[in-house]
Structure 1
Amino acid sequence: MSFQGISLEELEELEQELLGLGETRLGSLSYSKIEVYEAMHRQLEAIVQEDEDYCAYYTFIKKKLVSYLLRYGAPVSGSDRTIYEDSEKVLKKVLSYDSQNPIAAYRLGFLAYRSGAFSDAAAYLQQALNSQTFYTDERYLLNAEQINRAVLYITNCALHPAIQGEVPAMDFMATAEHATSLSTQLCYNDGMLKSQAYRITTPFGSVLCSKEESVEAPMQDVISLKFNKFGAVLTYNGISEKMAPVQANLLRYLLVKTRKGQTATPLALKDYFLFTHVVTGVPEETFLLVMAEVKQILMEMEIPSAIQTAEDEDYGFYFDGSMPFVVIDRVDEELSL
């Protein structure tokens, strides 16, 4: 979409229109919002050079853009190579707006590691760990598992070229008789990374598991929500439905974080449904619209109603615990709830 010749005020109006629309199952509306915020950012970047009064607005839009890119900017289809390239492009955009963002650097390191670019991977992962020590926005900090995985990835980034003879073995205090121990260490690290690559969350808590363990057949009468490189898939009694990221994230929050007395509200979910600059407060209409879409998907899949409306709180919803559920996330791509 081209925004050439469109004023900042017109972009603000378009933002409001998009916030008032429903989301498609594949999340195409989120991409439109990203394009609008990118256009707003470009204009504000020039405006603040002349008028400092716009600095706060500029910073605000940049934060919204970073949030949308990280949560909803990932590709939803394509070949492995296309997904890798598109994901890399999105994450590099994030760092161009927020150069010290830990989770963006971590994800870039993960992608580089998977492609065999070990030098780049180590640099990104070390950047993520360094930023972790001073970065103030908790939403984008690494969790404990990601910190541990970053250390293992960095270690492997040194082991791979050492074993392959691409660097002097003495750089790693390794001589010929130590080659076997290096390979053993690499295999052990890889085993740890693979065995704890996914998180399975149920009403009884969460456990880490391998990819193979995460793809076990869903049980009867269990809500199964799985996040993957294409987005998220909801499964119930043999019926599966793709969900847009914003819908899937809301459902995950409901299942994992809410109960009677601890509800999902526009304020609690401000990081998913961000404040707008031209409308004071949280956009309740957007929140209610996505909530309605989630409930519609559940109804279409004949999942018994388990999302309740709080009686004593405006715009409050919660999962009543009447249904068993399984939420499956890839640890390397998790964001804080």
Structure 2
Amino acid sequence: MRFQGNSLEELEELEQELLGLGETKLGGLSYSKIEVYDAMHSQLEELVQDDEDYRAYYSYIKKKLVSYLLRYGMHTYTDHLTIYEDTEKVLKKVLSYDSQNPIAAYRLGFLAYRSGIHSEAVMYFQQALNSQTFYIDERFLLNAEQISRAVLYLTNSALHTAIQGEVPSCDIISTGYTSLPTQLCYNDGMLNSHAYRIVTPFGAVLCSEEESGEQQMKDVISLKFNKFGALLTYNGISEQLSPVQANVLRYLLVKTRRGEAATPWSLKDYFLFTHVITGVPEKTFSSVVAEVKRIMAEMEIPASIKVAEDEKSGYYFDGSSPFVVIDRVDEELSL
């Protein structure tokens, strides 16, 4: 790490410079940002041993680093370099900083299950469920749907291990343990049919991947999350949003209305490029909202994001257009 020799004061100055650079259109973060926070974490880890006054600062930087890795690390590129080789390495890096992080363990379990490494899947899903009972930071807890899915994944992983061989997800074969493949088939059906969440003004439902990709209706704002952020679609026109743009728009659509606006404070955790002391600058927050509104206008989406009269730098969705927000339950990070 090239910043490990810098003083904490120098690192803070570098952080401020890098934060001013923002993010690329697809949400890619400079590798330097990860390195700076890693170096800050190392220095503060030593300082806090002698001076408890650094404890809050140390905790903040660690959470900042964990947030970067969880949200963007596996999809972050520089010109010629991927920060880490794959998602698994990113998530294991998270656990090296925060060994009990429930969402990191859950995602590692999902990757192991998908790869057919069922003994590892058992370990990670059990870790995620155990950590869920005492972990404090709500941002990294599993939601209710993920808890249910973790139990199903854990059960299926244990069944695969018991069978001592791979069983096709829905092929009932003669193994001498007919009930085990039957249960596997049933559980897989539940996991597949509840893999995606569709949110509309009328509420939320869970569905399969096939159902989540159904043809969009005319004059409906569609926001479908993917590994780069989300694809915004309206009447056949699509635009890729960066992660921060996508999260801000989702919040506006789903959680705001007149009298309940989105503000720099309510959305501070969505902005990974906030400063450690000042939080989300109003200018930064407003510029992201302005960019989202610009994209929507270019797509000929009717103006529906309004300035809140009773909130400084607040915005809300006026409900004038129907919308649908689609994301994968396994990949959601609650905030």
**Normalized against structure 2, the TM-score is what?**
0.88
Change (3 A) 1:165 1:62: closer
Instruction: Give the aligned partner of residue 211 of structure 2.
Output: 213
2:270 aligns to what SS in structure 1? coil
Give the 5 Å matches for 1:152-171.
152-164=152-164
- Return the match for 1:196 from 173, 191, 194: 194
Deviations 1:189-217 (A, max 9, x none): 00000000000001111100000101112
Q: Does the 8 A contact of 1:74 with 1:86 survive in 2? A: yes
- Which of 154, 177, 180 is 1:179 aligned to? 177
Rounded Cα–Cα distance in structure 2 between residues aligned with 1:15 and 1:242 = 27
| 1:173 aligned residue | none
Name the stretch that deviates more: 215-224 or 202-211: 215-224
SS of residue paired to 1:74:
helix
Higher relative contact order (CA 8 A, sep 6+): 1
Q: Is residue 3 of structure 1 aligned with residue 3 of structure 2?
A: yes
Amino acid paired to 2:44: L
Pick closer, same or farther for the CA change 1:65–1:307 going to 2, 3 Å. same
Tell me, yes or no, if structure 1 residue 101 matches structure 2 residue 101. Answer: yes
Contact 1:19 1:286 in 2 (8 A): no
- The CA deviation at 1:282 is 3.9
Q: Write out per-residue CA displacement over residues 182-239 of structure 1, whole angstroms, 9 at most, x where no aligned residue.
A: 1111100000000000000011111000001011122221111111234321111212
Q: Counterparts of 1:285 and 1:19 in 2: how far apart (Å)? A: 13
- 1:308-319 alignment, distance < 5 Å: 308-319=306-317
- 1:42 lines up with 2:37 in the alignment: no
C-alpha distance in structure 2 between counterparts of 1:31 and 1:112, whole Å: 27
Q: Which residue of 1 aligns with 2:246?
A: 248
Identity of aligned residues (%): 77
Q: Which runs of 5+ in 1 are unaligned?
A: 167-175
Other structure's SS at 1:179 match: coil
Deviations 1:252-308 (A, max 9, x none): 1111111111110011112123663343x5422221222222222212222221110
How far is 1:46 from its partner?
Answer: 3.5
Distance 1:300 1:5, change over 3 A: farther
SS in 1 for 2:160: helix
Amino acid at match of 1:308: K
Contact 1:26-1:242 at 8 Å conserved across structures? yes
Q: Which amino acid aligns with 2:194?
A: Q
Distance of 1:285 and 1:34 partners within structure 2 = 23
Kindly indicate whether the alpha-carbon contact (under 8 Å) linking 2:73 and 2:84 is maintained by their aligned counterparts in 1.
no
1:271 aligned counterpart, secondary structure: helix
| Rounded Cα–Cα distance in structure 2 between residues aligned with 1:260 and 1:292 | 18
SS at match of 2:25: coil
Could you tell me which residue of structure 2 aligns to residue 258 of structure 1? 256
Q: Quickly say closer, same or farther: Cα 1:74–1:253, change in 2 above 3 A.
A: farther
Structure 2 stretches of 5 or more lacking a match? Answer: 167-173
**1:151 Cα offset (Å):** 0.9
Sort the Cα spacing of 1:84 and 1:207 in 2 relative to 1 into closer, same or farther, 3 A.
Answer: farther
Partner of 2:139: 139
- One-letter identity of the residue aligned with 2:293: K
Q: How many residues align?
A: 323
Calculate the aligned-residue CA RMSD, in Å.
2.4
In structure 2, how many angstroms separate the alpha carbons of the residues matched to 1:30 and 1:6? 18
Per-residue deviation, residues 146-195 of structure 1 (Å, max 9, x unmatched): 111111111111212333459xxxxxxxxx88521111111000000000
- Please say if 1:86 is aligned against 2:83: no
Aligned structure 1 segments of 4 or more residues deviating by more than 4 angstroms: 49-52, 82-85
Distance apart, 1:84 and its partner CA: 10
- Taking a change above 3 Å as real, the CA distance of residues 29 and 320 of structure 1, as seen in their structure-2 partners, is same
What's the offset of the Cα at 1:247?
Answer: 1.0
Contact in 2 for aligned 1:103/1:142 (Cα 8 Å)? yes
Residues 1:276 and 2:275 aligned together? yes
Distance 1:94 1:284, change over 3 A: same
Q: Secondary structure in 2 aligned to 1:208?
A: strand
